[in-house]
Chains A and B, each alone.
Chain A
Amino acid sequence: MSGRPAPDLPGSAQEAATWVREVRSGRRRSEELIPLLAEESPIYAGMGSGEADRLRGHILASFAWSDVPEAALPYILEELETGRNPFTVAAAAHAVRAAAPPPAEAAALVESAIRRIRGRNQPVDFERLLPSPAHAGGRTALGELEQAQAELQARPCCAHIGKASAPALPADAPRLGEIEVQDQDGEILALGNLVGGRAALLTGFYTRCTNPQKCSLTISKLGRLWNLVEAAGLAGQVAVAGVSYDPEFDLPARLHDYGAARNLRFSANLRLLRTTGPFEPLRQRLAFGVGYGDATVNRHRLDLILLNPDGTLAEYRTRRLWDERDVFDRLAAAAPPPLGG
């Protein structure tokens, strides 16, 4: 499901590893690694999650060999905030130490990463892409995080970066009308009919996601957001939907159970959806950041898309956790007045 590589970008893990070596030896600029951090990059296509995370960690750690471009910071902070793989989180900690100056949120995120990784600490080796047997007493994920924490506390703060690195949507992105979707109850509808004429929030997720900080939390937040929408009397003017990245697996019954287990009180304007056809056209239109292995998603970022009632893009938040009250305020501001109101 990944696109063709741009002519001047690596198209495979081996080519990406060559670029990493060149950056580490000073023969290539570190900025050139940024496109390789896109989940849909062909370098991750067909890989399992473990391999994709390892390659990503290998790339992230490379910033410590040279410098940390500003464009790399959202990826590093994302990993520190929601990453689950100790290797990749440790690689982000390794990189953030080299940021000059470090981002304002880095210390707090490293601290939260320490809490997440504690209990799953493991040896880490940033030198090699392919895993090799570890040695007792070597570098560890928790050790990297603790070292980053100590250094961040000792260094002057801070660079302020934007909350999100908003992706550029294709020109026809808002035109979702012809994309057919099915909801958790089996109802088939055109996506445009759900979002059109309302302030809409779309987010990606999949039920096989194993990171509780990502899909599970996102869907729980949709439920809490909807409670705010209903309490404000805006249920008719707002649409909220989670769209599965894994539509062939996420059949209606699965979507229903997943949402119900996270306290979603489904309604006409609050649904979990799957595309009835291929996912790729929707992925491209909404620029969802998701890559695939051979059976399911191998990695995805957090995506939150706010659309105006006329279908134009109001806001695109990506990679970082979001607050439902903050998003509710944004939705309420974009919502049309009630009919007859």
Chain B
Amino acid sequence: MKAKDYRRQVEQELGITDATKAATANAGEAADAGEAAMPAASRAEPDCAPLVSRLADSSVDPRSRLMALGALQAAAFLARHFDVCRPDYVAALQSAATAEDPELRRAALDVLTKLKDDFARDRLIRGLSNADEALVPPAVALGLLSADDHNAVREIARRFLGPEFAPKVRAQAVRLIGRDPGARELLTKLVRDKDEFREVRRAGAVALKNLNPDAFAAQARAILADASDFDDIRKTVRGALARSGLTIEEGPAAIPSPVGRLWDWLRNRLGGRPKSR
């Protein structure tokens, strides 16, 4: 479907007519020209209320609420028309964020964190500190919070680095911690630790590259020169170096011997943490 047709479909769902668009466009142009924005009451309003109500209503089937959320997300792209709906949409999202259905909760929190919503951030952080209050699993909460460098969650994230947590949780924690320039040593250690889960090492490599490209390049070259390191890790750092436009100097040791290749293959098959797990 063409973008134009999709927009038209969303507008129809919201009951936005050509007259509505003309009215809201005039309001926006007036404001852009420096004349005061029109009072809300005098603006033509799209009919988003039924969708917002459906999203907020805890007695409605979660599938239906998710569909309403999808339609409202699409409508939110029609920024000027959607303005009058937005506060109630946010309130409905906050209601959905605490719904019983986990998929709905996650979808609502995903949208709210993109909007930098205070309520969502507060609930995600509380959930990481107290599992009884968690609205989503730790990996999801850490992932949502990592979208904003300006969230202060370093100390909470550190708690999820321990070996008792699953690699995907630890990888998300590494992404969060990796925004702090003080984390360089920790990231370097993770990247070079062949006993570490590869998912965590890769997250460490990406975080180190974002934080300090030179420090990453030094580690990447060392990994490339080490034929005993894992194929996929070496592939990851080789690609990252190339994308950074950095020279790749793989020494003779980087060409694995048949024994080295067999060892590499065995360790890859064994899941990346052969010594400890």
Complex CA–CA separation, A134 to B95 (angstroms): 8
Is A47 a contact of B152 with CB atoms below 8 Å?
yes
Query: With an 8 A cutoff between CB atoms, is B22 at the interface?
Result: no
| Distance between A224 CB and nearest chain B CB, rounded to angstroms | 23
Is A50 a contact of B121 with CB atoms below 8 Å?
yes
A298: chain B residues at CB < 8 Å are 150, 152
A208: chain B residues at CB < 8 Å are 149-150
Cβ-neighbour of A114 out of B31, B149, B180, B211 (below 8 A): B31
Interface set, chain B 128-181, CB cutoff 8 A to A: 148-155, 179-181
Query: With an 8 A cutoff between CB atoms, is B252 at the interface?
Result: no
Of B80-88, B218-226, B262-270, the one touching chain A: B80-88
| Distance between A338 CB and nearest chain B CB, rounded to angstroms | 40
Interface set, chain A 126-141, CB cutoff 8 A to B: 130-138, 140-141
Chain B interface, >50% SS class: helix
B83: chain A residues at CB < 8 Å are 118-119, 121, 142
Minimum CB distance partner of B27 in chain A: A118
| Distance between A298 CB and nearest chain B CB, rounded to angstroms | 6
Is A131 a contact of B119 with CB atoms below 8 Å?
yes
Chain A interface, >50% SS class: loop
| Distance between A309 CB and nearest chain B CB, rounded to angstroms | 35
Complex CA–CA separation, A94 to B96 (angstroms): 29
B212: chain A residues at CB < 8 Å are 251
Query: With an 8 A cutoff between CB atoms, is B213 at the interface?
Result: yes
Is B90 a contact of A123 with CB atoms below 8 Å?
yes
Query: With an 8 A cutoff between CB atoms, is A49 at the interface?
Result: yes
Is A50 a contact of B116 with CB atoms below 8 Å?
yes
Is B87 a contact of A134 with CB atoms below 8 Å?
yes
Query: With an 8 A cutoff between CB atoms, is B19 at the interface?
Result: no
Complex CA–CA separation, A115 to B94 (angstroms): 25
| Distance between B200 CB and nearest chain A CB, rounded to angstroms | 19
Of B34-42, B66-74, B235-243, the one touching chain A: B34-42
| Distance between A229 CB and nearest chain B CB, rounded to angstroms | 32
Is A118 a contact of B37 with CB atoms below 8 Å?
yes
Q: How many residues of B contact A (CB 8 A)?
A: 45
Minimum CB distance partner of A298 in chain B: B150
A253: chain B residues at CB < 8 Å are 213
Query: With an 8 A cutoff between CB atoms, is B92 at the interface?
Result: yes
Cβ-neighbour of A111 out of B36, B56, B98, B149 (below 8 A): B36
Cβ-neighbour of B80 out of A114, A119, A130, A153 (below 8 A): A119
Interface set, chain A 91-116, CB cutoff 8 A to B: 111, 114-115
Minimum CB distance partner of A118 in chain B: B83
Is A118 a contact of B119 with CB atoms below 8 Å?
no
Complex CA–CA separation, A163 to B61 (angstroms): 56
A149: chain B residues at CB < 8 Å are 36-37
Query: With an 8 A cutoff between CB atoms, is A185 at the interface?
Result: no
Is B87 a contact of A210 with CB atoms below 8 Å?
no
Complex CA–CA separation, A298 to B154 (angstroms): 14
Query: With an 8 A cutoff between CB atoms, is B5 at the interface?
Result: no
Complex CA–CA separation, A138 to B88 (angstroms): 8
Is A133 a contact of B79 with CB atoms below 8 Å?
no
Minimum CB distance partner of A136 in chain B: B88
Complex CA–CA separation, A122 to B120 (angstroms): 13
A140: chain B residues at CB < 8 Å are 87
Asked whether A48 and B153 contact (CB < 8 A) given A123-B87, A123-B91, A296-B179, the answer is yes
Complex CA–CA separation, A248 to B179 (angstroms): 11
Interface residues of chain B, those whose CB is within 8 Å of chain A, are 28, 31-32, 34, 36-37, 39-40, 52, 56, 79-80, 83, 86-88, 90-92, 94-95, 98, 115-119, 121-122, 148-155, 179-182, 211-214
Can you report 29 residue pairs joining A to B where beta carbons are below 8 Å apart? A48-B121, A48-B151, A48-B152, A50-B148, A54-B118, A111-B36, A115-B31, A118-B28, A118-B31, A120-B86, A121-B83, A131-B117, A131-B119, A134-B90, A134-B119, A136-B56, A136-B92, A143-B40, A143-B87, A146-B39, A146-B40, A150-B39, A208-B149, A251-B213, A253-B213, A295-B154, A296-B180, A298-B150, A298-B152
